[in-house]
Chains A and B, each alone.
Chain A
Amino acid sequence: MSEAMVEVRNVTKVYERGKQKIEVLHGLTLEIPRGDFVALMGPSGSGKTTLLNLIGGLDQPTSGQITVGGSRLDQLRAGELAHWRARNVGFVFQFYNLMPVLTAEGNVELPLLLTRLSAPQRRKNVAVALQVVGLADRAKHKPRELSGGQEQRVAIARALVSDPQLLVCDEPTGDLDRKTADEILGLLQVLNREHGKTVVIVTHDPKAAEFARRTLHLEKGQLLEQAA
């Protein structure tokens, strides 16, 4: 691990709910080296998902700087941010968030529609991604025909297919049983160790956090400690 993949400098995030202003992150500073596997833990409302959303370019900080892979996300406009996300980051959600009308391969191909790849090239990339997550034989199945673990594997394949350097995962095992959760985390570990992906996951589960190289604890919008 060398230079920083993610640099968060003095970031605050304030949400407005009606007349009420809620400050979720308070001047948070953080650095994640390229190739790291970080677990963000903390109680509900501590700002884990907010931090993950900022790192993934889904939201903008109220103040402070966020640099990911050399790009200053806090300075990008909405359209530029969308373009950046398509090229640089893969997302995995707790509830998979697959398109129910598409097959597994259709779901995995979706991010590639934003590229200039030809249809045969897209199909090839999709096949590789499904192979990596071990679901090559389920390519033609729709999400409702898959188990939870398989759906999450498809979601990981979708996150991988455009070859981003950063994977952000929000409670990726929160909806899975222990055995399946361990398989998914093992897969993320392989992607980190063998494919060099930087992985950031949010989790409540200490066992899940054990798969990460390090764990960061957040409480009330601030980073508490760093555990190896």
Chain B
Amino acid sequence: MTKSGFVVANLFRKRTRTILTLLSVIMAFLLFGLLQSVNTVFNAGADFVGATRLMVQARVSFTQPLPVSMVPKLEAIPGVARVAYQQWFGGVWQENTPLIMFALDPQRYRDVYPEWLMPEAQWQAFEHTRTGMIVGRQLADQYGWKLGQKIPIASNIYPLKNGSKAWAFDLVGIFDGKDEEWKRRTNLAFIQQDYFDEANQFNVKGRTNFFILKLQDGARAEAISKTVDAMFENSPDETKTQTEKDFNISFVKQIGDIGLIVRWILFAVFFTLLLVVGNTMAQSVRERVPELAVLKTLGFSDASVLGFVLAEAFALCLAGGLIGLVLASICGALVAKGTGGQFQLQLDAGVWLIGVAAIGLMSLAVGLLPALRARRLRIVDALAGR
């Protein structure tokens, strides 16, 4: 027998209680791993886009469209190489599957986003087919769409002139991304702005949600962004201009501040866990006061007894924490696989590091008070049951 063997043996004196506590630790760290990964995904999702593009939207909200007539003014700003625009369509496939779908000017969009790769003939077809639609590879693969198909898609915002929301588009192109990052984002669909303007019932003709400014030099992004907003200040269409990365982050944050949500959920989870494991540890020490006194009688010092109790708390948290984090890694990998790589839930080194630190802190938090109680035990009182 070793001291660590003694610690483990004590841990399993009440097998059911320890297993249940262990399960709660596992669940907490599973949640921790997954939520931290979600947080990482949302915060790091825009890293790859670079800073050579600016996004311009209405200052109040991107839901308030801006006039396409702003394009020449924007393009006249020194340092702006090309301007594209895109209008949110609100596409819905079949019963209730939302699509990330925009109406846009094909040529301008292609100029601003060279990262999307598609055969020239398909770009041409998109430009010259009024009801044309191009989709990313992931989307095409996911729904089995083939070139030449007529794809019925509803819009949850814009009805056709006849009042129906059942639009139909000709699939004329399937685009890919230039690298793995961009390939993972080929879950988009684009239609022609001209057709959208003509066919929708609402009077949004000649207006769009976003302008995308391709810059000649990314280093001038901040200055150009100020110039744009100053240009339209006090006009009916005031603008808010930000880098594409900031825009993506703020777009995600419309769901809510993911980081804050994650922190609050984890706070609740760990607070509950502290109570559960802390109670288990306190109860475990309370139950064996005479045994702890015997240890001291045999010659184990106060510090050794404190160490035994802390070691039990650490062993419990370490086992539960590591199993939870490993399970989170497996679940993350399954989610990433299940979503075709769109949702990269991976526990990176940072998450593991925070996880291990959390294990250490939690062990101290749940073990310290019972350990101190064990350390303070007076042998004669404890043996006498006082």
Contacts and interface: CB of A to CB of B under 8 A. Distances in A.
Interface in B290-304: 290-291, 294-303
Nearest to A105: B1
B3 interface: yes
Contacts of B303: 79
6 contacts: A58-B383, A91-B298, A101-B12, A102-B9, A106-B1, A110-B298
A67 to B, nearest CB: 19
Interface in A44-97: 50, 53, 56, 58-59, 78-79, 82-87, 91, 93, 97
B378 to A, nearest CB: 8
A85 B6 contact: no
Contact of A101 (B3, B10, B380): B10
A100 B302 contact: no
Contacts of A87: 299
Q: What secondary structure prevails in chain A residues at the interface with B?
A: helix
A224 interface: no
B9 A111 contact: no
A101 B299 contact: no
Contacts of B6: 99, 102, 106, 110, 113
A85 to B, nearest CB: 5
Contact of B301 (A53, A79, A106): A79
A97 B380 contact: no
A114 B9 contact: no
Interface residues of B, number: 23
A168 to B, nearest CB: 10
A109 interface: yes
B269 interface: no
Contacts of B2: 113, 119
Given A102-B1, A113-B3, A59 B379 contact: yes
Given A58-B380, A102-B9, A97 B299 contact: no
Interface in B234-275: none
Nearest to B5: A106
Given A100-B13, A101-B9, A113-B6, A53 B380 contact: yes
Given A58-B379, A97-B291, A101-B10, A85 B1 contact: no
Contact of A114 (B13, B291, B298, B302): B298
B308 to A, nearest CB: 11
A111 B2 CA distance: 11
Interface string B1-27: 111001001101100000000000000
